């Protein structure tokens, strides 16, 4: 694992050194730079495989005509190396050098054979080009600056800022953020700074930049297998994925929340390592958010060396007040706070940790997928009867407060909208009219034609089921731009590498062929996955059947309590008023009404706080 950075154009060694220094937390073990005329490449290394000096980056091919800087892990590097050794000479035992020679051998098609998480940039002197790529699901980030003259790249936006002469806000990105809680690719919040989307590569040559997709999922080819066959196939694939992610020259542990996904990873991992597995979890003083008892139950079942950290306001406050130091684009997923604390906690004992990310997107684990399956039945309801269904769902949502009923009601009210719009709508933070009611007139004029929902039109395939479309949308946007951005930023801030076996692209390609009814059956989510876990006695019924809780923080208690004044100061700062995104008087009323208990839009308040903290930090 590493931080990478570089440029092509008006840069220099001093600037590149500053870029790398800012990213030192991602790779504290080693640093290297290569300059060739107007091209510069640099790397900070977190040593995981081949800890010797031979793993120093940038790494070159045999005649020094091609070099690479790389962040990530390629899990099939040993098998690839055996093929490449017939024609290429290796100087190290790293997966970095395998990617380099794979490019020499197969060019851009090298991406087809890599299995892992990665972001790399290769400089090919003979062809005078930069070739960069990001892994299929988006575990590892790759950002770039391009203004038509200067091209630069880095693992984080912070690493680009020394080379950016003028910082400007991207207004449409801010509008998108308030709807989604994250900024969708390729935008970032800064003008001229972009994200390479997951499953894409770029080529920069002769002053021209081309970005192309190289991978995507096909949900149209379903396999007709018996349930027992599916159980065995997914068991074997998960087992294979976990085993491949144990390759390391440093200690490995695992995050353990007590949920189905992380518990499954711990169950498989405990069988694959020789020493006693170290597991890590955090618990909250507020029992409504605490899952530590379930984590302890799994730790006892699999005899792990379990470490638990109980946290309260004091521990959270230090992260809450410095979120913009870690997240360099607006980001409002409040689970980022406990994820940072958990990463720091685990890093005291291990350098690599496995997580359960990707289980919900593979097998259909979110509550909203039950709503989507409900929609399939709702489509068959006669138009005359839909009014009755809308009324019943609305009454139900008012009488019995639950996320499921609320979402069903939102869905029913937006039924006639295209699916992609309807789906994003009932997952959004700020509703369209609510956010625009807070904007200043000047900002409204800047974003008047922006429609966040249209971003997802390109993800929609009318030939697929609603559930497949929902999974496709989440895998292309929510997964890489929210969940994986959160995990990478949080873990790497502590110099911790996190590997996620469920994010094996081969597993995703397999589950894309799985019929809907094996993922969500009526309102039972992860049907075949849980059935397999239960039949093989991998997890006990108490864990399998407990309600999904999610890794969230008690932000309402903080923002309405001791941190309330800090939220107000950040949100109403002089710098934010000068940006003129919001009408100052309307924002002040919105905040005061929240603190007075007149509305309970906790997530919206946190989104405003995160945005304004980001502005205060970077502008």
Across 457-526, the runs of DSSP E, i.e. the strands, are 497-499, 520-521, 524-525
- What is the per-residue pLDDT for 246? 95
**What are the distances in angstroms from CA 138 to CA 52, 289, 347, 457, 510?**
28, 28, 23, 20, 18
Assess whether pLDDT exceeds 60 at residue 60: yes
Task: Give ∠ CA 192-193-199 in degrees, rounded to 5.
Answer: 125
Residue 59 shares a structural domain with residue 201: yes
Q: What is the DSSP letter of 169?
A: B
Strand 208-213, strand 252-255: pairing: unpaired
Q: Choose one of 544, 567, 602: the last residue of a domain.
A: 544
Report the length, in residues, of the chain: 619
Residue 86 shares a structural domain with residue 198: yes
Lowest mean pLDDT among 45-49, 278-282, 304-308, 456-460: 45-49
Assess whether pLDDT exceeds 70 at residue 391: no
Compare 318 and 155 and report the one with higher pLDDT. Answer: 155
Residue 133 shares a structural domain with residue 234: no
Residue the block writes with tokens 């309970």: 600
Contact 134, 488 (CB under 8 A): no
Token pair, residue 108, equals 């851009």
Residue 89 shares a structural domain with residue 161: yes
Answer whether residue 554 is part of any domain.
Answer: no
Answer whether residue 250 is part of any domain.
Answer: yes
Q: Which residues are catalytic?
A: 2
Strands of the sheet containing 2-8, edge to edge, are 30-36, 39-45, 2-8, 151-154, 143-146, 193-195
Q: Choose one of 514, 544, 574: the last residue of a domain.
A: 544
Lowest mean pLDDT among 43-52, 106-115, 490-499: 43-52
- What is the per-residue pLDDT for 365? 96
pLDDT, mean of residues 465-480? 97
Task: Give ∠ CA 285-290-295 in degrees, rounded to 5.
Answer: 125
**What are the distances in angstroms from CA 196 to CA 42, 123, 176, 487?**
18, 17, 18, 17
The tens digit of pLDDT for each residue in 403-414 reads 556 666 666 666
Percentage above 70 pLDDT, the chain: 93
Residue 91 shares a structural domain with residue 130: yes
Give the integer Cα–Cα distance in Å for 378 and 387.
Answer: 12
Answer whether residue 368 is part of any domain.
Answer: no
* CATH code at position 205: 3.60.20.10
Residue 14 shares a structural domain with residue 156: yes
Beta bridge partners of 2: 45
The tens digit of pLDDT for each residue in 603-614 reads 999 999 999 999
| Cβ-proximal residues to 316 (8 Å cutoff; 6+ apart), any chain | 337, 338, 341, 553, 558
Answer whether residue 431 is part of any domain.
Answer: no
Residue 94 shares a structural domain with residue 193: yes
Residue 208 shares a structural domain with residue 275: no
Beta bridge partners of 68: 59, 122
Strand 39-45, strand 200-205: pairing: unpaired
Give the integer Cα–Cα distance in Å for 506 and 362.
Answer: 11
The tens digit of pLDDT for each residue in 426-463 reads 889 999 999 999 999 999 999 988 999 999 999 999 99
Q: Choose one of 213, 238, 266: the last residue of a domain.
A: 213
Give the integer Cα–Cα distance in Å for 487 and 52.
Answer: 27
Confidence of residue 574 (pLDDT cuts 50, 70, 90): very high
Number of domains in the chain: 2
Confidence of residue 84 (pLDDT cuts 50, 70, 90): very high
Answer whether residue 440 is part of any domain.
Answer: no
Give the integer Cα–Cα distance in Å for 237 and 253.
Answer: 21
* CATH code at position 263: 3.40.50.620
Residue 27 shares a structural domain with residue 115: yes
pLDDT, mean of residues 30-49? 95
Confidence of residue 149 (pLDDT cuts 50, 70, 90): very high
Task: Give ∠ CA 362-365-369 in degrees, rounded to 5.
Answer: 100
- What is the per-residue pLDDT for 414? 66
Assess whether pLDDT exceeds 90 at residue 224: yes
- What is the per-residue pLDDT for 397? 54
Mean pLDDT over all residues of the chain?
Answer: 93
pLDDT, mean of residues 167-180? 98
Dihedral in degrees, nearest 10, Cα atoms 239, 241, 247, 252: -80
Which residues constitute the domain of residue 168?
2-213
Compare 413 and 307 and report the one with higher pLDDT. Answer: 307
Task: Give ∠ CA 336-339-344 in degrees, rounded to 5.
Answer: 130
Residue 141 shares a structural domain with residue 275: no
Residue 204 shares a structural domain with residue 235: no
Confidence of residue 551 (pLDDT cuts 50, 70, 90): low
- What is the per-residue pLDDT for 388? 59
Beta bridge partners of 252: 352
Assess whether pLDDT exceeds 70 at residue 37: yes
Confidence of residue 393 (pLDDT cuts 50, 70, 90): low
pLDDT, mean of residues 34-41? 97
Answer whether residue 191 is part of any domain.
Answer: yes
Residue the block writes with tokens 């870690």: 326
The pTM for the full model equals 0.94
pLDDT, mean of residues 577-589? 97
SS3 596: coil
The tens digit of pLDDT for each residue in 176-208 reads 999 999 999 999 999 999 999 999 999 999 999
Assess whether pLDDT exceeds 90 at residue 50: no
pLDDT, mean of residues 352-363? 98
Residue 232 shares a structural domain with residue 197: no
- What is the per-residue pLDDT for 392? 59
- What is the per-residue pLDDT for 287? 74
Token pair, residue 580, equals 């003129």
Among 577, 564, 578, 579, CA closest to 609:
564
- What is the per-residue pLDDT for 378? 66
Confidence of residue 554 (pLDDT cuts 50, 70, 90): confident
Percentage above 90 pLDDT, the chain: 82
Among 554, 542, 555, CA closest to 259:
542
Dihedral in degrees, nearest 10, Cα atoms 55, 61, 64, 66: -100
Contact 178, 97 (CB under 8 A): no
Answer whether residue 603 is part of any domain.
Answer: no
Answer whether residue 299 is part of any domain.
Answer: yes
- What is the per-residue pLDDT for 314? 84
Give the integer Cα–Cα distance in Å for 362 and 374.
Answer: 19
- What is the per-residue pLDDT for 316? 87
At residue 272, φ and ψ (nearest 5 deg) are -105, -10
- What is the per-residue pLDDT for 408? 61
SS3 241: helix
């Amino acid at each position: 694992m590493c931080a990478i950075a570089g440029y092509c154009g008006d840069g220099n060694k001093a600037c590149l050194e500053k870029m790398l220094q800012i990213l030192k937390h991602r790779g504290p073990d080693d640093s290297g730079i290569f300059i060739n005329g107007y091209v510069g490449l640099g790397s900070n290394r977190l040593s995981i495989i081949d800890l010797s000096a031979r793993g120093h980056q940038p790494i070159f091919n045999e005649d020094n005509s091609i070099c690479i800087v790389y962040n990530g892990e390629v899990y099939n590097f040993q098998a690839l190396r055996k093929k490449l050794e017939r024609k290429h000479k290796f100087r190290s035992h790293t997966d970095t050098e395998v990617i380099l020679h794979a490019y020499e051998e197969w060019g851009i098609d090298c991406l087809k054979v890599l299995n892992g998480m990665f972001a790399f940039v290769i400089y090919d002197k003979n062809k005078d080009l930069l070739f960069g790529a990001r892994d299929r699901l988006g575990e590892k980030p790759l950002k770039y600056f391009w203004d038509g003259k200067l091209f630069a790249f880095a693992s984080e936006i912070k690493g680009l800022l020394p080379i950016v002469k003028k910082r400007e806000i991207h207004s449409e990105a801010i509008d998108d953020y308030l709807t989604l809680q994250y900024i969708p690719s390729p935008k970032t919040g800064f003008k001229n700074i972009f994200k390479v989307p997951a499953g894409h590569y770029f080529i920069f040559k002769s002053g021209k930049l081309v970005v192309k997709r190289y991978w995507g999922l096909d949900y149209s080819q379903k396999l007709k297998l018996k349930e027992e066959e599916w159980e065995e196939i997914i068991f074997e694939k998960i087992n294979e994925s976990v085993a491949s992610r144990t390759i390391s020259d440093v200690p490995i542990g695992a995050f353990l929340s007590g949920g189905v996904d992380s518990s499954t990873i711990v169950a498989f991992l405990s069988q694959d390592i020789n020493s006693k597995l170290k597991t890590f979890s955090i618990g909250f003083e507020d029992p409504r958010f605490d899952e530590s008892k379930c984590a302890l139950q799994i730790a006892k079942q699999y005899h792990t060396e379990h470490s638990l950290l109980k946290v309260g306001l004091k521990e959270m406050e230090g992260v809450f007040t410095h979120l913009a130091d870690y997240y360099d684009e607006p980001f409002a997923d409040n689970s980022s706070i406990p994820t940072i604390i958990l990463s720091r906690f685990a890093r005291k004992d291990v350098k690599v940790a496995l997580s359960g990310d990707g289980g919900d997107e593979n097998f259909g684990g979110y509550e909203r997928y039950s709503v989507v399956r409900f929609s399939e039945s709702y489509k068959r309801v006669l138009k005359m009867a839909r009014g009755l269904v809308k009324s019943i769902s609305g009454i139900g949502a008012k009488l019995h407060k639950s996320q499921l009923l609320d979402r069903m009601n939102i869905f029913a009210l937006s039924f006639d909208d295209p699916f992609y719009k309807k789906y994003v709508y009932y997952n959004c933070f700020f509703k369209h009219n609510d956010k625009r009611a807070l904007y200043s007139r000047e900002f409204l004029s800047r974003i008047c034609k922006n429609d966040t929902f249209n971003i997802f039109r390109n993800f929609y395939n009318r030939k697929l089921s609603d559930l497949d479309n929902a999974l496709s949308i989440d895998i292309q946007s929510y997964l890489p731009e929210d969940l994986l951005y959160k995990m990478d930023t949080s873990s790497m801030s502590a110099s911790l590498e996190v590997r996620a076996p469920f994010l094996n692209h081969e597993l995703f390609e397999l589950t894309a062929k799985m019929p809907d009814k094996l993922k969500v059956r009526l309102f039972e989510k992860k049907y075949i996955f849980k059935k397999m876990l239960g039949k093989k006695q991998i997890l006990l019924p108490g864990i399998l059947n407990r309600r999904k809780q999610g890794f969230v923080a008690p932000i309402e208690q903080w923002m309405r309590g001791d941190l309330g004044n800090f939220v107000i100061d950040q949100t109403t700062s002089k710098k934010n008023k000068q940006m003129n995104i919001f009408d100052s008087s309307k924002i002040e009323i919105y905040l005061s009404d929240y603190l007075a208990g007149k509305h309970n839009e906790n997530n919206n308040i946190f989104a405003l706080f995160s945005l304004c903290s980001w502005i205060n930090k970077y502008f």
